[in-house]
A and B are shown apart, each in its own frame.
Chain A
Amino acid sequence: MTNSRTSTVDLATRWLVLALLVVYTLYNVGPIFWLVLSSFKSRMDFFTMPPKLFFTPDLSGYQAVFGVGAAKDSASAVGVFDSLVNSIVVSVAGTSLAVFFGTLAGYVCSRFNFAGKGDFMFFVLSTRMLPPVAVLVFYHLMFARLGLADTRFGLVLVSIFANVGLATWIMKGFFDGVPREVEQIAIVNGYTRMYAFIKLVLPMVKGGIAATAGFCFIFAWNEFAFASILTTTQAKTLPVKISAASGATGIEWTQICAAGVVLIIPVLIFFYLIRKHLLMGMTFGVLGRR
Chain B
Amino acid sequence: MAEITLKNLSIEFGGFKAVDEVSLTVKNGEFVVYLGPSGCGKTTTLRCIAGLVRATSGDVLFDGVRVNDLTASERNIAMVFQFVSLYPHLKIKENIVFPLKARGVAKAEIARKLDWVTDVFKLGDELSRYPGALPPGARQKVALARAVIRDPAVLLLDEPLSAIDEQFREEMRWELGHLQRQLGVTTIYVTHDQREAMSLADRIVLMNNGRIVQVSEPDRMFFDPVDVFAGQFIGSPSMNLIDLAPVEGGLRLGDSDVTLTAARDLLPQWALSAGRPLKLGVRAINVHLTDDPSFGVALPVDDIFSVGRERFFSFRIGDTVHQGVDKRSSTAGSEGRVHFDPEGLLFFDAATGRRVGAEVAA
Contacts and interface: CB of A to CB of B under 8 A. Distances in A.
Contacts of B71: 4-7
Contact of A4 (B52, B89, B132): B52
Contact of A2 (B47, B69, B88): B47
A14 to B, nearest CB: 15
Interface string B88-129: 110000000000000000000000000000000000000000
A131 to B, nearest CB: 36
A251 interface: no
A3 B53 contact: yes
A70 interface: no
B283 interface: no
A75 interface: no
Contacts of A290: 83-84
A3 B69 CA distance: 11
Give the size category of B's interface with A.
10 to 19
DSSP majority for the A interface? Answer: loop
A286 B54 contact: no
B223 interface: no
A286 B132 CA distance: 9
Interface in B17-47: 47
A288 B88 contact: yes
A287 interface: yes
Majority DSSP secondary structure for residues of B touching A? loop
B132 A289 contact: yes
A49 interface: no
B81 interface: no
Interface range on chain A (Cβ under 8 Å from partner): 10 to 19
B158 to A, nearest CB: 13
A5 B88 contact: no
B51 interface: yes
A269 interface: no
Nearest to B55: A3
Given A2-B52, A3-B53, A4-B51, A288 B132 contact: yes
B53 A4 contact: yes
Contacts of B270: none
A290 B71 CA distance: 28
B13 interface: yes
B271 interface: no
A3 B133 CA distance: 33
B274 to A, nearest CB: 45
B131 A288 contact: yes
9 contacts: A1-B13, A1-B47, A2-B52, A3-B54, A4-B51, A4-B52, A7-B71, A287-B88, A290-B83
Given A5-B71, A286-B88, A288-B132, 17 more contacts: A1-B13, A1-B47, A1-B53, A2-B47, A2-B52, A4-B51, A4-B52, A4-B54, A4-B72, A6-B71, A7-B71, A287-B88, A288-B131, A289-B132, A289-B133, A290-B83, A290-B84
